Amino acid sequence: MIDIEITDHQSIASIDPKPIQTLLKHVFETEGFPEAEISIALVDNQQIHKVNRDFLNHDYPTDVISFVLNGSEDSVSHNHDHADPDFPEPLIGEVIVSVETAAGMAAENNWCIASEVLLYCLHGSLHLCGYDDLVASERNRMRERERFYLLPLGLDPQVDPSD
């Protein structure tokens, strides 16, 4: 079973949790994690800045942060195909999303805040599945996966190629 719990700790925009839950359940199933317990926190820039500073030693707000809460880094598939089908325990993770940052970027990209929040939730969830974006080849693979999941929903994220 895949359980996606969304808590809303911000007042910037009203975000419907259903599309997020539906997409992320599909993502975790497709990426080979039939058992997952995922917490999504929708926050403002002040809250995500505190998390970024306290846990990652980065003294600035960001768009999305994700944490795998069980096992080691080897607990998730880093080959970007699928998790081990014999994985003995569910993937447990947390994704923290700045709705405030999403609102700014949505205006810049000329699409709605909810779509930008959905992109951030997807991006953080792909990190939980083992994808990374630190080097160009990995970042390109992650962008491909984002488009794979968003294009069927009529969403085409416009990402800066240098990002």
Binding region for Zn(2+)? 123, 127, 133
Cβ-contact 117, 61 below 8 angstroms: no
Please identify which residue in the block is written with the tokens 């949505």: 106
Indicate the length of the chain as a whole number: 163
DSSP 103-149: HHHHHHHTS-HHHHHHHHHHHHHHHHTT---SSHHHHHHHHHHHHHH
Cβ-contact 121, 4 below 8 angstroms: no
Beta bridge partners of 98: 43
- Annotated binding-site members: 123, 127, 133
* DSSP state, residue 1: -
Element (H, E) at 23: helix 17-30
Q: Which residues contact 3 (CB under 8 A, 6 or more apart)?
A: 36, 37, 38
